[in-house]
Structure 1
Amino acid sequence: MIQKLFSYFIPIKIFKKKSSRSKVIEVTWANGELVLDSENTNYSYGSLQRILRYGLRNIGYKKILEMEHILLLGVAGGSVVKTLVNEIEYKGKITGIEIDPEMIEVANKYFSLNEIKKLDIIIDDAFEFTLKTKEKYDLIIIDIFEDTHMPNFLFEKFFSERVCYLLKDEGFILFNTMILDEAHNVRNRKYISEINSKLFKSKTLPRIEDHNELIIIEKVA
């Protein structure tokens, strides 16, 4: 495909749509691969896929292969799903929660997300879903952005305790956060300090992208 070849020299935008939830959704050929972006940041594939792959590698692919059920809060184009299924060859169940139905339409059309077996996409608010679900999960991936903004509820103690409660013993949370200023650094430190250290181990990973910091929480058996 000629667009793919030219994208190694210059990004080629092939789709752009205004979205009520995400403001703008864009699909672009960049460095030979399709990426999904909002107006100001990468939503799926590209750098975001590298970031979440790095987090999954830190948890351990062998551990992930033994998991039964993974919850993904924030789906966008589904790049982390592709990493789990195509690269790690995870065979268990994945439940993805995405608030923006237009995002899923784009993910299905351009990234064939609807062709992945054992993937259940639910259009819902992540906060509301975590209150309703009766399931327990081996891994919860939190990857929720509104362009460059992260909703405040993600860092509130109530939500933190709820997602920790939804973990099985020896389960993990992989939380992708955006750091744009010192206030965000303070926010992340506060978030980690509030995690119950008797029941959970928490750490941040050294950044591989300037503005993204991964937090990993492990439930101690």
Structure 2
Amino acid sequence: MLKKLFSYLIPIKIFKVNSSLSKTIEVTWANGELVLDSENTNYSYGSLQRILRKGLKYIGFEIIAKMENVLVLGVAGGSVIKTLVEEINFKGKITGVEIDSEIITIANEYFKLNEIQNLEIVIDDAFEFVLKTKDRYDLIIIDIFQDTTMPNFLFEQFFVSRICFLLKSKGIVLFNTMCLTAAHNFRNKKYIEEFNDNQYQIQSIPRIEMHNELIVIKKKA
């Protein structure tokens, strides 16, 4: 409890490990809450949880609560999953796909991810998973980073088409992107402008954090 109290004054690191994918993974008390960080960015809880919560609010908590299947690509500490379960009271099935097994071990120990009854964790590459899965989803959340880098495949047409194919009728994609440079801003602008499918509606949500932009894709029918 003392660490939690002192964290309102200064962040207190309680765990750190080297990671082959994220350089380092750290668990820190900050402003009274545990957060998960990589070397250069927030991975779960803290600002990232605020960002994704805004996206979920934009979609509508009541709408999400009635859904049956949610897919989360990029689990890390599981903050968006905690929002789904604890704030939205989502009772359907959540499938979380995470490439880094070390992060899931940390998430289970420090954030009790393994205590969520309606959550299935799959250790796999997100690209490989979406190619293999035969399931369909009401909501797909894409939150994939390796430190401050986003894999290029996330913005490629084949991946976008496959993600949309996995949506149920009136399904929704919530895509969290990181924009650190003018090139990243242009990438997002191009991604939205070149999305050409009359079955879907695409738009970005006004930013609440300087470097993150949420993109929402809705299936019309």
Deviation at 1:196, TM superposition (A): 3.0
Letter in structure 2 aligned against 1:113: L
Q: Which runs of 5+ in 1 are unaligned?
A: none
Map residues 91-170 of structure 1 onto 2, 5 A cutoff.
Answer: 91-170=91-170
Name 2:52's counterpart in structure 1: 52
Which residue identity is paired with 1:105?
Answer: T
SS in 2 for 1:214: strand
Counterpart position of 1:34: 34
Give the match's secondary structure for 1:89: coil
Structure 2 alignment gaps of length 5 or more: none
Show the counterpart of 2:201. Answer: 201
Does residue 83 (structure 1) correspond to residue 83 (structure 2)? The answer is yes
Give, in whole Å, the separation in 2 of the partners of 1:34 and 1:147.
18
CA distance in 2 between partners of 1:6 and 1:146 (Å): 30
2-structure distance, mates of 1:160, 1:197: 11
> How far, CA to CA, are the matches of 1:28 and 1:150 in structure 2?
23
1:193 is displaced (CA, Å) by 2.1
**Alpha-carbon offset, residue 23 of structure 1:** 1.3
Measured in 1, the distance between the counterparts of 2:21 and 2:219 equals 33
What letter corresponds to residue 63 of structure 2 in structure 1?
Answer: K
For 1:102 and 1:19, locate their aligned partners in 2 and report how far apart those are by CA, in whole Å.
8
Q: Distance in 2 between matches of 1:115 and 1:196?
A: 41
Query: Which letter does structure 1 place at the counterpart of 2:215?
Result: I
Sequence identity percentage: 70
Computed over aligned residues only, the root mean square deviation of the Cα atoms, in angstroms, reads 0.6
Query: TM-score normalised to the size of structure 2?
Result: 0.99
Aligned partners of 1:162 and 1:195: how far apart in 2? 13
By how many angstroms is 1:156 displaced?
Answer: 0.5
Q: CA deviation at 1:169?
A: 1.0
Give me the whole-angstrom Cα distance separating, in 2, the residues matched to 1:164 and 1:196: 12
Q: Deviations over 1:73-124 (max 9, x none)?
A: 0000000000000011110000000000000000000000000011000000
Mapped partners of 1:179, 1:22: distance in 2: 18
The answer to whether the 8 A contact 1:10-1:30 is kept is yes
Equivalent pairs, count: 221
TM-score (norm 1): 0.99
2:61 aligned partner, one-letter code: Y
Task: Give the counterpart letter for 1:141 in structure 2.
Answer: I
